[in-house]
Structure formats: C-alpha cells, structure tokens
Chains A and B, each alone.
Chain A
Amino acid sequence: MRDFVWFIPLLPLASSVLLMIASSRLTRRSVALLGVGSVGLAAVLTGAVALEFLSDSTPVEVTLWTWMKIDSLAPRISFYIDGLTLVMMCVITGVGFLIHLFSSEFMQDDDSYARYFAYLNMFIAAMLILVLADNLLLLYLGWEGVGVCSYLLVGFWYRDSANGRAARKAFIVTRIGDTAMLIGLLLLLTELGTLNIRTLMQVASEQWSIGDSLPTIACLLLLGGAIGKSAQFPLHTWLPDAMAGPTPVSALIHAATMVTAGVYLIARTHDLFLLSPSAMHTVAFIGIATSLMAAGTALVQSDIKRILAYSTISQIGYMFLALGVGAWTAGVFHLMTHAFFKALLFLGSGAIIHCLHHEHNIFKMGGLRTRMPITFWSFLIGSAALAALPMTAGFFSKDLILLQAYQRPDFGPWLWGAGLLGALITAIYSFRLVFIVFFGDAKTEPDREIGWQMALPLTVLCALSIIGGYFSLPLADVFPLVNAEHPPHWVEIISISVPLLGVFLAYIGFYGQRPRIDSWTKTPLVQRVGQFLRSGWRLDEVFDRIAVKPYYNLANALQNEPIDRFYEAIVRLNQAIHRHLSATQSGRMRWYITSMMVGLIATLGVAMKIAPGAI
C-alpha cells in the first residue's frame, strides 16, 4: 500500500491535465465527477495509508526517479511520509475533498466549470508534492506550484480587472518571500552540500552549534518564505485581497492548506530552527504581532470574507507563536483544527454568498438564523471553535499553544498575555459576525436553498470542528519532546474564561435590534481608530509608498527607454552622416570634376609642403 503513495498526488494531477485538455468535450456532470472524484479517491488512499501507519509507524520513503544530476546535487523525485506529512495529507485530501464537493454546487452556474476544477485539482497535486517532498528542491517545486494555482484561482474571474490586480498582488508579495526562501535553500546547499531534508537536519546539527550565525541566517531566509506564503507580518497584505477568488478557493487555499505551508516548512525544518534561538524568537514575535494586528483589523471589517481572511492571518499567527516557542505539536495541531473550522466558516460564508446574490457586506445580511438553519449551525460551531470555546477543536489546540507559551522561561508570560488578548478579540469578532449575520432583522432574503453537495461538507466539517480536538496526532516521533511541566491552575482557568468573556462582550455590543456599540462608535477618536484598523493598519499605503510607487516611477522612467536613447543617437548620427555623404553623390559630372580638382590641388599642396625637392 505504502509503495503506491505516489498515486495520491498523481490522481488530482492526472485529473487536472485531463480537464485542461478535454474541457470542451466533457459535460458539467462528468467534470464534477472527475474533479471531485479524483480528490475523493486520493482522500480514500490517504486514509488507507494513515490506517496502515497507525499500526506500523515507521516512516516510509518512496523514490521514483532522480530528478536531475548536477555534480553533487542530485535531488530525487522522492516522497517521505512520517506523522507530520500524514497529518498534512489528511487535511489536504480530506478537507480538499469536502471543498471540491462544495464547489461542485457553488460553481454550478459558472461558465468555466472545467477550468475551475482543473486549477483546483492542480492545486491539490502541488500541495501534496509540497508536503510529500523529501528534499527541499521538490518542496520548492510544490511551493511554487501552489503559488501559481493560488494566482490562477484568485484571478479566476479575470474579467474584472480588480480580481486580476488581487491575483498579481498575491503572487508578487508571496514571490518576495519565495525569493528569500530560494536564497536560503542555496545557502543550505552550499554550506551543507545537500537538500535532502533528513540528511540536511542531521548535517546541520553536526556542523553547527546552537547560536551560530549561519543557521540564524538560513532560518531567517526560510522564515521569509514562510511569512510570505503564510501571510504573516509584514507580507500578509495579499491575503485579504486574495478574497477576490471564489469562496471555496478561499476556504481551500487561503484558509486550510496553502497558507499553512509556511507552518509546515518551519515544522519540517525544526531541527534547523532549534539551532538558532534568535530565529525562534523572531518566529514567535512575528506570530504574536501578526495575530494581534490581524485580530484588531478583523474586528472592524464589514466584508464577511475579509473578516475571515484577517482571522486566518491571526490564527496562523498563533501557529507561528507555537512554532516560535517550540510547541511544534501544538502548532501542527492548531493547523489541523484551524483547517477544519476555518474551512467550515469559509464554506458557510460561501453558502451565504451563494444564496444572497453574491452579497459580501455583513450589514446587509441579518436574521439568517431561521432562513438558513444548516448554515447557521455550521457557522455557530465554526465561530465557537475559532473563539476557542471549551469542548470545541479550537479550544484544545489554542489552549495547548497558550499554555506552552506560558512555560517559555524568558518572556513566556508576556507571550501568553498577548495571546490571551488575541483570543479575546478573536472571540469578540467571531461572535460579532454571528450576531450581525444571523440575528436581528433580515435585510436580504436568500433566493435559494443549499443542496446536498453544500450541506454534506458543512455537516462533516461541523463534526470535525467539534471532535477534532480529541484526535491524537502521530507526531511523537517527529518532534522532540517538550517539558511536560504543568502550569499553575489559574493560568488554565484564565485561558478558558477569556473566550467566554469575549463572547459576552460581543453579545453586549452586537446582539439585538440596535447594536449598543453604535452610540460608542460615534466619537471621533473611535472612528479614527476604526478607520485605521479597517485599512489594515495602513500597511498597504506604506508599502505603496515605499515599494510600489517607486517601482512604478522607475518603470515609467524606463518605459521611455533611456538607454536606447544613446543607441538611437548613434543611429541618428549615422543617418545624418549618410545623408550628407550621399548628397555628394549628386550624379553631376561637374561636381565630380570639381571635387577631383580640389583633391588635386590639395595633393599638390601637401606634396610641396612635405617633399619640396621630390617634384
């Protein structure tokens, strides 16, 4: 069974290629069958591999062929499966399958049905290659592959130029991180002579000692790639704009899988990060800062998908915090639970958008509790998990992160406090969303019911969002053990009670006919702060000023081709000389005779001067 693990990425890839080639000859039904079925089959195979792994948890390595051979660099197309990979695969194929199923209904009216599934399948294939890769180069292939698919899917409705702009932004901003990551890979290759992940980790531990500058540089470069892909400060600005794509795409790529690739990368190379405490601190601080920042922004957004996007950024910030404090298992655990409940929330919002004529503004929704019960319940469960209310999946993972952060010897309690603040804001904004969208007066009536293809994924994800917290991940062999010392009880109690407080605050503020918060938000200071938060802390403006505008100015300057001017001048000089010289070829005999005469006189004159006696 395990030897056929390469079949798992091949299935969606083959389906994608088939859909691209034969899209015009397939009916919608067969497109859906192919697109959803291939991922479903991959999910089944993944499940089988997982079951086998539970009974025999030795890592598997499957080498297909040597990709290329350049001197000592010989990366192979080779897959490596351990607990971490398996968790990622389960999330990708499982959640991916549910989202595919959801998409088959969500996109049913779209003209480019086959194109959509081709991209989506290709994304699954690339993501699987990313997590299955046993060397960093193959990982990078998958890494770029998901980037391309993200670009294609964000700009899926390319007829609106704003979507194209969002897609370009997503691609270019992540490219900045990718470039850093590529430099990091090359640094590792030249310093350690290999890109195979396990060998690399082993050699790194042997050659470098803790606190060396080289591992720090390498880690920071890899971190650059991770923060680009995982939308962490300061490269997070692309994610809210990436919501221009279809909602299931946001659920799959920009919530559950691709944006967690950075977390996976750091978890995968954790041995390297352990060599550099300063890089770990950087990861933790970036994580907590992003988390708070994005949570603050999510609090004031009015577009349902942008709220969820900022929420995603914030939650990935928690994962980074976990990685930064060495709570690897907690980070990956939160990655998985987040994939469940965030996919659920996105799909829920997709259902709302689908039924409400593509309405995104939450203030134009309301009262949907009775009109869309399935969506309401899934949204409620998703929000509870997001807010980390007790007994939900999010509670277990986030609690684990916060407790382990608290145990950090140096500034653990500070990180814990900041994380708690983030959790409080998270609870407020997630239930603000619930109260505004599902309670109160109905402002827009849904025009259709959701079908089983939408209801089934919602239901399954609801279940996963609740029971996901009880899963025990087979990560014991992958990550080093962390100290199991238990923090004081009051810490745990506060951790549990803060989200409840948040929900209560949201209830006070946003529940009811006239949200009580209205009177308070009228003050100019609050308005200004709200404006500042809504714009995403004005980071877009800052980037615009320091990077985009200068670049455009440079491009405009270069558009006039200043360097060509020089060559044009040479050309024009030659043309002028040619004009004048060809004017001497007048075709007139008298002119030629006169020129000969001048030449004769000049020659005689020169001869007289140079050699007077010779003539």
Chain B
Amino acid sequence: MLEVVLFYIASAVALLATILAMTRANAIHALIYLIISLLAVAVIFFLIGAPFAAALEIVIYAGAIMVLFVFVIMMLNLGERGDARERQWLQPKIWFGPAILSAVLLAEIVYLMGTVQGPATVGIVTPKAVGLALFGPYVVAVELAAMLLLAGLVGSYHLGRRALERRH
C-alpha cells in the first residue's frame, strides 16, 4: 500500500521536475531539477524491485554525469545575459508546434500500450542475478560497452585538449 503511494508521489515528482528542468532559463537551475528527476526515477526503480539499478542511477547518473554538466557549465560561464536570451527563446510560439507533435506521439504510444496488463513487479531482481546475466549471455554487450566508453574517453580528451590549447 505504502509502495503504491510512494510510486505515484515519485512519478509526480519526476514528471514535474523534468518539466521544470526543460523550461528553466538558467542551466544550473535546470540541472538541479534534472537531478531531482533522476533521484525520483531512482525511487521508482527501487519500488519496482530493482535496487541495484536504483543505486547506479543515483551514483552514476545523478552523481557522475550531472557533475560533468556542472563542470562544463561553470567553464562556459554563461551568466545573466545567457539567461535573458534563453527566456527570449522560450516563446510560446516556439514550443506550440513541438508540443502538439509530442502530444500526438504520446497518444500513439498510450494507445499501443492499451493491451498491457498485469503488475509492475513480481519481486526483487537481485544484483547477483544481474551480474550473472551480465557476464553470462551479455558478455559481448559488456565488451562493446567497454569499447564505447573507451571511445568516449578518447574523444572527450581529444576535444577538450584542443580547446584548451587554442585558448592559451
């Protein structure tokens, strides 16, 4: 009973925080709302029986990735002028069309989900089971993910280094 209530609260928080994040003019504010949204999603993960995923969501998503954003925003030093310009860009006429499109997409997906039945969870999937699956049938995917992360590492290093060199 409590879990169900918690789920709806967390969902509401996640949606609200995401909407706010998408509409903020100040990047740092938007980022904080986004972190709140991610934390709320982590709560949902926990509630539907994926505690390991919830922990990863908090540690890696809300922690590591968002911190990267914070660093970059601080490096760019956008300031008040940037906020004003962002506000100017967020005119109703700008998001009216995209909003309709998004609504149509939503309607389509909801219509397609109409047949889905049953509970969200049948029990907790333990980290052990996840680990067995990862290094069992999904080992190739893990290797690929490792390569992808390495590529991301090399790429970001390359891009950031040249930017710094040119600046001096």
Contacts and interface: CB of A to CB of B under 8 A. Distances in A.
Contact flag (A, B; Cβ within 8 A): yes
Contacts, number: 22
Contacts of B80: none
Interface in A575-614: 594, 597-598, 600-601, 604-605, 608
B22 interface: no
A615 interface: yes
Contacts of B98: 594, 597
A608 B97 CA distance: 23
Contacts of B112: 604, 608, 615
Contact of A605 (B101, B102, B108): B108
Interface residues of A, number: 9
A601 B111 contact: no
B105 A597 contact: yes
Secondary structure of the A contact surface, majority rule: helix
A12 to B, nearest CB: 86
B85 to A, nearest CB: 16
Interface string B102-113: 101100110110
A600 B111 contact: no
Nearest to A600: B105
Contacts of B104: 601
Contacts of B111: 608
Range for the number of chain B residues in contact with chain A: 10 to 19
A600 B111 CA distance: 15
Nearest to B109: A604
B101 A604 contact: no
Nearest to B104: A601
A80 B86 CA distance: 102
A608 B107 CA distance: 12
A598 B98 CA distance: 10
Interface string B81-118: 00000000000000001100110110011011000000
A455 to B, nearest CB: 101
B101 A598 contact: yes
A61 B149 CA distance: 101
A452 to B, nearest CB: 99
Contacts of A608: 108, 111-112
Contacts of A615: 112
The interface centre, meaning the residue of A598, A601, A608 with most chain B CB atoms within 10 A of its CB, is A601
A608 B112 CA distance: 8
A615 B112 CA distance: 7
B101 A597 contact: yes
A292 to B, nearest CB: 91
Nearest to B107: A601
B97 to A, nearest CB: 8
A360 B108 CA distance: 99
A101 B72 CA distance: 104
A608 B109 CA distance: 10
A33 B45 CA distance: 118
Closest 9 CB pairs of A and B: A604-B108, A597-B101, A601-B104, A601-B105, A615-B112, A601-B108, A605-B108, A594-B98, A601-B101
19 contacts: A594-B97, A594-B101, A597-B98, A597-B101, A597-B105, A598-B101, A600-B105, A601-B101, A601-B104, A601-B105, A601-B108, A604-B105, A604-B108, A604-B109, A604-B112, A605-B108, A608-B108, A608-B111, A615-B112
Given A594-B101, A597-B102, A604-B109, 8 more contacts: A594-B97, A600-B105, A601-B105, A601-B108, A605-B108, A608-B108, A608-B111, A608-B112
